[in-house]
Structure 1
Amino acid sequence: MTSAAVADRAVVEVRGLTKAYRRRGSPPLVAVDRVDLTVRRGEVYGFLGPNGAGKTTTLRMLLGLVRPTGGTASVLGNAPGSRAALEATGAMIEGPAFLPYLSGTANLRVVARYAGVDASRVAPALESVGLAERGDDRYASYSLGMKQRLGVAAALLKDPVLVVLDEPTNGLDPAGMREMRTLVRGLAGRGHTVVLSSHLLGEVQEICDRVAVIDHGRVVLESSVEEMRGGSELVVRATPSDVARDTVAALRGVEDVRLRDGVLAVRVPEAQTADVTSALVGAGVAVTEVRRSERQLEDVFLELTGGPATGGGDRDA
């Protein structure tokens, strides 16, 4: 695809985006360091990284809530925070905040009034997140999952082109997380472009089309989920394992061999599976298992960042 074609489809374009905070008597704290990323129209784009990596700060800059120190950003062809950009953007940053004594419907009417949105948009927004039957209940009676969904409903009041969600499943139980994943995929199915931040590898792997991995303020990789995972791996149990590793590593077409706890993980085209088995048998290695396994996003994350994504929300500076 040409750069022009990508630009035509881009909803968000970020180049060299940087945010540094001054600290008295200390060097500046660089929260976001020369970030580049592109969000294409109609996709679910995951912003993946551990706590403090810079995800929330980046989203705030895209919404005009934080002024960048350097770099450029474009949201729907406009400056972040501009009226044109905000009119076509809905967002939930750092969890929803509503008046507890009002109903879900009444809360959305308040939001609509301040956003300059007709009150007729409230009912469709509640319907889109599965809260139509609970709209008249007080917000204080809502479960955490319902509160999160109401936050998404508020983001949808303007029927936005772009929906920005900061850790939308944070604090939810497994059932609530499943509901939120279904909701996000449904938004994309209805033509919205979704950008979400997350520290949950499984969540990103299940619902995102493309992912940017951010660590210590820097994007270390931007790719589709499938490209990041790099296809399937061949799992081999064989004895002695060190001989098996050296035998497989010498084969043509083998891209990578890792030995972990006596098990080989081999990146090799599926068509060469029989070649691997034959080579091991020919080397006098006892083979007890050969199977294909999908490489998980967690493996890629560990390789890129040197550590796991941890629990809790990303509330960086």
Structure 2
Amino acid sequence: MTGSDPVVELRDLTKKYGQLAAVDGVNLTVHRGEVFGFLGPNGAGKTTTLRMLLGLIRPTSGDAAVLGVRPGDPDALRRIGSLIEGPGFYPYLTGRTNLRTMARYAGVPASNVGPALEAVGLADRAGDKFGTYSLGMKQRLGVAAALLKDPELVILDEPTNGLDPQGMRDMRELIVDLGRQGRTVILSSHLMGEVQQICERVAVIDRGRIVREGTVEQLRGDTELELVATPSDVAVATLRALSFVDDVRTEAGCLLVKVGTRHTAEITRALVHAGVAVTGVRRTERELEDVFFDLTTHEDKELSHV
């Protein structure tokens, strides 16, 4: 269950390179035990923000606290596992030996290596050299490395990159399971369907600023009920008389009704009682991907004058 105490708190976090603000006044709170989606197009500031959380980049201004302390604090880093951008391992060592080497540097028992390999489905290939791994296998090993310290906070930047459909499904299940274990997961991904399935809350960053934050349901907005009903004038009048109907409009011969999910049966019943023939009922929902593109797609004003 998601706790109320924050694991990550960002207040006006800013990172500038010269005059360019890669991250511009970001405010964000991630609570204990939640799987949090961090979304944005390439160059939006996602990876820069995640690097600041780990103390790899120093912010230009603003405040950040991770597990109650400043980013990069050694005690906090012992409780954080991360995969940022891409995994870096010795190509001539096996997957198992790479993890054992990392465990030794991190002061982690070697006994943690086996469970981490099992968790990402690499136990059978742990004896192969990293240089022979496919892109998806390299990503799996990177996630295994993130789990070595039995972390409270896991930060994953595009963890399904290069995975086949089965691997993506396995990774989704692993991330959900991490949340169930009470760990906090920050997931950066460009796969909206993936985020929609596994994240509780989402923040969208664009051009260095947070443009929307909330639950997946809040971002997707209200659903609509699409009806095929005749006579349409009677149907519209009946629907508008219902207190729980927010809006009714006609489009392409259908009635689009803005209403909560609980009232589908009541609407159908009211229309039938009014003598309306209902021949089609379908609930439409916006996908998170549609919302993402609405928030992050910009017209090039200069091109509009060409």
Q: What is the TM-score with the length of structure 1 in the denominator? A: 0.80
What is the number of equivalent residue pairs in this alignment? 297
Amino acid at match of 1:17: L
Secondary structure at the aligned position of 2:38 is classed as strand
Q: Is the 8 A contact 1:20 1:30 kept in 2?
A: yes
Structure 1 residues 249 and 14, CA, compared in 2 at 3 Å: closer, same or farther?
Answer: farther
Query: Alignment partner for residue 15 of structure 2, among 19, 25, 33?
Result: 19
Per mean C-alpha deviation after superposition, the further-off stretch among 141-150 and 192-201 is 141-150
**Counterpart in the other structure of 1:314:** none
Give, in angstroms, the shift of residue 253 of structure 1: 4.1
Structure 1 residues 261 and 119, CA, compared in 2 at 3 Å: closer, same or farther?
Answer: farther
Secondary structure at the aligned position of 1:15 is classed as strand
Counterpart Cα distance in 2 of 1:19 and 1:172: 32
**Counterpart in the other structure of 2:156:** 165
Counterpart Cα distance in 1 of 2:296 and 2:238: 30
Counterpart Cα distance in 2 of 1:57 and 1:245: 51
**Counterpart in the other structure of 2:87:** 96
Counterpart Cα distance in 1 of 2:6 and 2:129: 39
Structure 1 residues 254 and 16, CA, compared in 2 at 3 Å: closer, same or farther?
Answer: farther
Matches within 5 A, 1:1-317: 9-22=5-18, 28-230=19-221, 232-237=223-228, 253-255=244-246, 265-270=256-261, 272-273=263-264, 288-306=279-297
Counterpart Cα distance in 1 of 2:216 and 2:41: 18
Per mean C-alpha deviation after superposition, the further-off stretch among 122-131 and 98-107 is 122-131
Secondary structure at the aligned position of 2:49 is classed as helix
Q: Is the 8 A contact 1:48 1:200 kept in 2?
A: no
Amino acid at match of 1:106: T
Counterpart Cα distance in 1 of 2:33 and 2:95: 28
Amino acid at match of 1:189: R
Q: Is the 8 A contact 1:166 1:196 kept in 2?
A: yes
Residues 116-145 of structure 1 show CA distances to partners (whole Å, capped at 9, x for unaligned) of: 323232222212222222211221232322
Task: Identify the structure with bigger relative contact order (alpha carbons < 8 Å, sequence gap 6+).
Answer: 1
- RMSD of Structure 2 on Structure 1 (CA): 3.2
Residues 223-276 of structure 1 show CA distances to partners (whole Å, capped at 9, x for unaligned) of: 122333345421235699999999968975444567776655432124554776
Q: Is the 8 A contact 1:48 1:214 kept in 2?
A: yes
Residues 155-203 of structure 1 show CA distances to partners (whole Å, capped at 9, x for unaligned) of: 1111111010001112322222112112211222233211011121101
Secondary structure at the aligned position of 2:26 is classed as strand
Per mean C-alpha deviation after superposition, the further-off stretch among 158-167 and 118-127 is 118-127
Counterpart Cα distance in 2 of 1:303 and 1:238: 31
Unaligned stretches of 5+ in structure 1? 1-5, 23-27, 308-317
**Counterpart in the other structure of 2:304:** none
Give, in angstroms, the shift of residue 82 of structure 1: 1.2
Counterpart Cα distance in 2 of 1:274 and 1:7: 36
> Percent of counterpart pairs with the same letter?
65
Secondary structure at the aligned position of 1:159 is classed as coil
Q: Is the 8 A contact 1:233 1:295 kept in 2?
A: no
Give, in angstroms, the shift of residue 80 of structure 1: 0.5
Counterpart Cα distance in 2 of 1:213 and 1:258: 30
Residues 256-305 of structure 1 show CA distances to partners (whole Å, capped at 9, x for unaligned) of: 56777665543212455477669989999986522223442233334433
Unaligned stretches of 5+ in structure 2? 299-306
Counterpart Cα distance in 2 of 1:251 and 1:117: 62
Amino acid at match of 1:193: T
Structure 1 residues 67 and 123, CA, compared in 2 at 3 Å: closer, same or farther?
Answer: same
Per mean C-alpha deviation after superposition, the further-off stretch among 7-16 and 79-88 is 7-16
